Amino acid sequence: MVELEVTRDPIDLNEFDSDMRAALGGKYYGASSRKGVVVLHLSDDATPSEVNQARSIFNAAKAAVDPTKPPLSVGLAERADRGRSSIRQLDFNDIQTRINNISNLAEAKTFLIQLTQAVYFLAAAQGFTDQDLDS
Amino acid sequence: MAWTTPKTWVANEGLTAALFNTHIRDNLLALKSPPRGVKNINEATDYTTTSTSWAYIDTTDVSITITTTGGDVTVFWLCNVKGSTSITVYFDLWIDGTPMGGDSGLVAQDINAGTAGEAIPLIFRTNGLAAGSHQFRIVWRVSSGTATILAGAGTSGADLHPQFSVVETG
């Protein structure tokens, strides 16, 4: 395997993962971060041109990084925690009773919002969406 | 102190200081201090990978070289790993660049994005490793997504320090 050391600056590996895989296909295995050093893993049959292409994609991603934005992995972890917290507020053992007990529009809205939040945070944790939820 | 195969004593054989030192003292010292290496890992940043092919975790801090005397070697690796989402992470032991596990390594674990992730213990005993200098390294890869080894980066609730050790156990 070809190991290409590209930087000593911290960067989220997801910032360039999809672009690398789209451009290099199976010749791009992924990347690692060791002591803040990012290493690109390419297959042995990667050509010099493809190695340069990988380096270019990485440099472009690095240049586009917003230093004020938390790494994607951190964001996903936070969303997973919030999803678990939302789910814990719902009693699924008695969900039918709770629905049957809804007697007015306000109660229905409260329940719907709670359910939607739980679904949203779980979807975000799974990477299906990267939108922020206001409440 | 190198191990010496203990001699077979015969009746009425004289016990000399040299023989006693070689076969008793030196062998006790060899048993107490076998060839070994330990790395307690405490990094400024955690380790991460998106690699779906085996990659070294760290070619310095997760790498131990010892000179063995021909006995079996026991390897311990312990860390906590979390994923960017629900993924599988794989670990293998490479000795002198040769994998000890199969295609999927020695240990695989389904992990998620929880704060502290999952504890990964890897214990392996060699069989028939020749005497001499040997390099031991842990490698890892993922099914997809990103895996993070918590390595003492000071994250609240997840300031966990992996340990890698290698010892000739006879």
- What ipTM was estimated for this complex? 0.75
Tokens at B12, concatenated? 């009425």
Q: CB of B86 within 8 Å of any CB in chain A?
A: yes
Q: Do B51 and A36 touch (CB under 8 A)?
A: no
The per-residue pLDDT for A134 is 47
Write out the H or E segment, with its range, that includes residue A82.
helix A72-88
Letter for the amino acid at A97?
T
> Which residues are A105's β-sheet partners?
none
Decide if pLDDT at A92 tops 80. no
DSSP string, B75-136: EEEEEEEEESSSEEEEEEEEETTEESSBTTBSEEEEE-S-SS-EEEEEEEE-SSPPSEEEEE
Report if pTM > 0.90.
no
Strand B73-83 and strand B118-125: pairing? Answer: antiparallel
Q: Do A29 and B45 touch (CB under 8 A)?
A: no
- Minimal Cβ distance to A32: which of B48, B85, B114: B48
The C-alpha angle B83, B84, B86, rounded to 5 degrees, equals 60
pLDDT tens track for B79-122: 999 998 999 999 999 999 999 999 999 999 999 888 888 999 99
pLDDT (average), residues B34-60? 94
Write out the H or E segment, with its range, that includes residue B20.
helix B17-20
pLDDT tens track for A28-76: 999 999 887 899 999 999 999 999 999 999 988 888 776 666 555 555 6
What three-state secondary structure class fits A40? Answer: strand
Decide if pLDDT at A135 tops 50. no
Q: How far is B68 from chain A (nearest CA, A)?
A: 28
Q: How far is B138 from chain A (nearest CA, A)?
A: 13
